[in-house]
Structure 1
Amino acid sequence: MVFKSDYPKFDQEAPPDDFDPAKPYADPVAMLEHREFVVREKLIQVEKAKILRQRLQHCYWREGVNHYQKCRPLVQKYMASLQNIGWGKDARPAYLNQL
Structure 2
Amino acid sequence: MGRKKGTVEFDESPPDGYDPENPYKDPVVYFDMREYQVREKWIDIEKAKILREKLKWCYRIEGVNHLQKCRHLVQQYLDATRGIGWGKDGRHPSLHGPKVEAESE
Q: For the superposition of Structure 1 and Structure 2, which TM-score range results when normalised by the shorter chain?
A: 0.7 to 0.9
Question: Structure 1 segments of 4 or more deviating over 4 A?
Answer: 90-93
* Residue 27 of structure 1: how far off its partner (Å): 0.3
Larger RCO (CA within 8 A; separation ≥ 6):
1
**Sequence identity of aligned pairs in percent?**
55
Where does 1:25-36 land on structure 2 (aligned, <5 Å)?
25-36=24-35
Alignment partner, residue 51 of structure 1: 50
Provide the aligned C-alpha RMSD in A: 2.0
TM-score calculated relative to the size of structure 2: 0.74
TM-score calculated relative to the size of structure 1: 0.79
Greater fraction helix: 1
Q: Deviations over 1:4-45 (max 9, x none)?
A: xxxx964x3111111111111110000000000000000000
Q: Which runs of 5+ in 1 are unaligned?
A: 1-7, 94-99
Q: Which runs of 5+ in 2 are unaligned?
A: 1-7, 94-105
Aligned partners of 2:91 and 2:57: how far apart in 1?
A: 29
Where does 1:1-99 land on structure 2 (aligned, <5 Å)?
10=10, 12-88=11-87, 89-90=89-90, 92=92
Aligned partners of 2:91 and 2:45: how far apart in 1?
A: 13
